Amino acid sequence: MSHAAPPPGRQGPRPGAAAPPEADPTRLLAQRLRPVFAVTGAVVGLYLLNALLAAQAREFLGIQVVGPLNIGLALGLLQCVTTVWAGRWYARHAQASLDPLGAGLRAPYGGQEGER
């Protein structure tokens, strides 16, 4: 049985190098999922509310708020805004808290910053 060499630019762990405790893969996963579930739950909850109201309370959604804007249109626009907000929030969250942990995981293997 032969052992394949790591691909160019990728080496095994440096002798005596261990990943720092904050770079534990299970911690990375938990840190990624905990806040994401809350934000995703809020966006999906708003979507389900829109769907339920569209199916059961059409007359409520048709109530005029201002000019041609009714409650149904306002909730639809709010859904678009919250979806964009959730995507932007996750990008900032990942950059601030996940990228440093990922770099800590790559460091003992000779990974470069920004390398995938």
How confident is the model over 75-103, as pLDDT tens digits? 999 999 999 999 998 888 878 777 777 77
Q: To the nearest 10°, the Cα dihedral for 9, 12, 15, 18?
A: 110
pLDDT digits (tens, 9 = 90+) for 17-75: 555 555 577 776 776 777 888 889 999 999 999 999 999 999 999 999 999 999 999 99
Task: Tell me the pTM.
Answer: 0.59
Question: Cα dist. 14→4, 20, 39, 78 in Å?
Answer: 17, 13, 39, 51
Please tell me the predicted confidence (pLDDT) of residue 20. 54
Token pair, residue 79, equals 């859904």
Tell me: pLDDT of 114 over 90. no
Question: Cα dist. 104→9, 13, 86 in Å?
Answer: 17, 12, 26
Q: Where are the domains of the chain?
A: 23-107
